[in-house]
Amino acid sequence: MNSGRTVFAQLLDYLPTREFRKCVAQYRGNHRIRSFSCWDQFLCMIFAQLTYRESLRDIVVCLRSQSRRLYHMGFRSFVSRSTLADANEVRDWRIYCDFAQVLIARARELYRDEDLGIELSNTVYALDSTTIDLCFSLFPWATYKSDQHAVKLHTLLDLRGKIPTFIRITPAQLHDVHFLDDIVLEPGAFYVMDRGYLNFARLHRWTLAGAFFVTRAKKNFRFRRLISHPVDKKTGVQCDQTILLNSFYPLQEYPERLRRIRFLDPQRQKRLVFLTNNFVLPAKTIADLYRNRWHVELFFKWIKQHLRIKAFVGTSPNALKTQVWTAMCAYLLVAIVRKRLNLDVSLYTILQILSVSLFEKRPILQAFSQQQLQIAEGIDCNQLILFNI
């Protein structure tokens, strides 16, 4: 007896299928395909992410065990290991990249009013990259070091909602600073990055575009002080200066003034020197902006722990990028569902619930509602919450 739709089918209602078909048509993903369409491939990869499947055999066995329900879950083709492997190898990964951009736009709209913890209405982005280690023998094309193969995941994270707005997958040898060339700058937005991105020729483009950056100075940084502004040292700010670069080549690359802020971290008793092209915000706010940069580090740690981007089901560059982008789609889907259903639980909790309830036939909100009651009843006041992502 059919008592309703599965949780997995209800979850798919939050995906814009019309936009997905447009992405498939743009890259002719279903050209000469009689069965196992790009949508079936996408559902298999999303299922793998939500249920923590780590191999092709694992995915296929789990789906075949529920063969009577697959049609009602959205699958329209028979799922086999060789067919899924071939699809990941040959179907253009840009289909899922473009679809992720659609989900990014929807997620950012839902989270645009999220509190940053700072009195600032501007959009704030954090830049960073993480290295994904790969098997030496299975990924011979991903050379990094003599004894290590890897790729690098560059990410531009919108700190309102922790939404990855721009992602690039590159060879691990590529220096982080080259990622700055690909970013489409947003006037009035703040871009927070560590000193690995300090390149004055590229950062001058930020100033010309009307965008703001906050980064750290290197130890051998040479400058000429023009103005020293008064500061309140009780806030941790040691100095606030307007400076000009002193070395010949950096001055040619960035001929305009910069703002230098020295801040004493009260927790670690460590002095940090920040550089920015914003002269309006208080110095303490600039320091707080840089402190929020660690959210991108937490994002990388979270996706490596809770998404399948460390064990890959294909060995080609196309298969790897397909899996990474479908993982991002799964992350964005869960973030959208969390906001649309007004769930007051973390993304980790939502993933845990979905991993064991995708085949159940009950209203999706009911599963989360019961879990919220259990969490509320079982809160331990001595238990610390490490991350709320």
Provide DSSP, 269-322.
Answer: TEEEEEEES--SS-HHHHHHHHHTTHHHHHHHHHHHHHSS-SS-S--SHHHHHH
- Looking at the structure, do residues 213 and 264 belong to the same domain, yes or no? yes
Number of domains into which the chain is organized: 2
318: closest CA among 152, 56, 134, 87? 87
Q: How far apart are CA 214 and CA 237, in angstroms?
A: 15
Query: Tokens at residue 324, please?
Result: 């990474």
pLDDT digits (tens, 9 = 90+) for 178-187: 999 999 999 9
pLDDT at 173 over 80: yes
Q: How far apart are CA 325 and CA 309, in angstroms?
A: 10
Asked whether residue 225 is domain-assigned, the answer is yes
Sequence-distant (6+) residues with CB within 8 A of 172 are: 131, 142, 144, 149, 150, 151, 152
Domain boundary among 230, 256, 280: 280
- Looking at the structure, do residues 202 and 270 belong to the same domain, yes or no? yes
Domain boundary among 280, 304, 325: 280
Asked whether residue 77 is domain-assigned, the answer is yes
Sequence-distant (6+) residues with CB within 8 A of 149 are: 133, 134, 135, 136, 139, 140, 142, 143, 172
Q: How far apart are CA 299 and CA 273, in angstroms?
A: 24
Asked whether residue 61 is domain-assigned, the answer is yes
- Looking at the structure, do residues 357 and 316 belong to the same domain, yes or no? yes
Domain boundary among 280, 297, 330: 280
Asked whether residue 252 is domain-assigned, the answer is yes
Q: How far apart are CA 338 and CA 187, in angstroms?
A: 30
Asked whether residue 249 is domain-assigned, the answer is yes
pLDDT at 9 over 50: yes
pTM: 0.90
Asked whether residue 336 is domain-assigned, the answer is yes
pLDDT at 219 over 90: no
Mean pLDDT of the chain: 90
- Looking at the structure, do residues 202 and 252 belong to the same domain, yes or no? yes
Answer yes or no: are the C-beta atoms of 91 and 29 closer than 8 Å: yes
Asked whether residue 105 is domain-assigned, the answer is no
pLDDT digits (tens, 9 = 90+) for 31-48: 988 889 999 999 999 999
Q: Which domain holds residue 70?
A: 7-96+312-377
Asked whether residue 67 is domain-assigned, the answer is yes
pLDDT at 376 over 50: no
3: closest CA among 314, 366, 305? 366
